[in-house]
Amino acid sequence: MPKASYHFPQGFLWGTATSSHQVEGGNTNNNWSAWENKPGKIVNGQKAGLACDWWGGRWQEDFDRAAQGGQTSHRLSLEWSRIQPSRDRWNEDSLAYYREMITGLNQRGIKPMITLHHFTDPLWLMDSEGWLNGETPALFAAYVKKTVAALSDMCDLWCTLNEPNLYALLGYVAGNFPPGRRGDLGALFAVYENLLKAHALAYLAIHELQPEAQVGLAINRSLLVAGRRWNPADRWITHMANWISGDAFMRPFQTGVFRLLGRKRCISGLKGSLDYFGMNYYYRQIMEVAPREKNGLYSRIFYEEDGEPSPSGKFGNTPRGMYAALTWAKGFNLPIYITENGIEDREDSLRRRYIIQNLHQVWRAINMSLPVRGYYHWSLVDNFEWTDGWENRFGLWELDTATQVRTMRPSARLYAEICHENGITTELVERYCPEVLEKVFPFN
Structure confidence by residue, pLDDT tens digits, 137-167: 999 999 999 999 999 999 999 999 999 999 9
**pTM for this one?**
0.98
Indicate whether 174 pLDDT > 80. Answer: yes
CA distances from 170 to 160, 238, 246, 387, 427 (A): 19, 18, 13, 11, 42
Q: Could you read off the pLDDT of 45-54 as tens digits, one per residue?
A: 999 999 999 9
pLDDT band of residue 444 (cuts 50, 70, 90) is low
In whole angstroms, what is the distance from residue 316 CA to residue 318 CA? Answer: 6
User: How many percent of the chain have pLDDT more than 90?
Assistant: 95
Write out pLDDT tens, residues 314-342: 999 999 999 999 999 999 999 999 999 99
Over the stretch 75-87, which tens digit does the pLDDT of each residue have?
Answer: 999 999 999 999 9
Q: List pLDDT tens digits, range 202-244.
A: 999 999 999 999 999 999 998 899 999 999 999 999 999 999 9
pLDDT value of residue 212: 98
CA 249 to CA 74: how far, in whole Å? Answer: 26
Per residue in 30-68, pLDDT tens? Answer: 999 999 999 999 999 999 999 999 999 999 999 999 999
CATH of 13-410, one of 3.40.640.10, 2.40.10.220, 3.20.20.80, 3.30.1360.120: 3.20.20.80
> What Å distances lie between residue 393 and 26, 244, 305, 345, 350, CA to CA?
20, 29, 25, 6, 12
349 Cβ contact list (under 8 Å, min separation 6): none
Residues forming beta bridges with residue 376, ordered by sequence position: 15
Instruction: Give the integer Cα–Cα distance in Å for 202 and 206.
Output: 6
Residue 435 has pLDDT above 90, yes or no: yes
Over residues 118-128, the pLDDT tens digits come to 999 999 999 99
- The string of DSSP letters for 134-202 reads TTHHHHHHHHHHHHHHHHTTT--EEEEEE-HHHHHHIIIII-SSTT---S-HHHHHHHHHHHHHHHHHH
pLDDT at 298 over 80: no
Asked if pLDDT for residue 1 goes beyond 70, the answer is no
User: Residue 292 has what pLDDT?
Assistant: 76
Q: What percent of the chain lies above the pLDDT cut of 70?
A: 99
- Residue 191 pLDDT: 98
Task: Tell me the pLDDT tens digit for each residue of 374-421.
Answer: 999 999 999 999 999 999 999 999 999 999 999 999 999 999 999 999
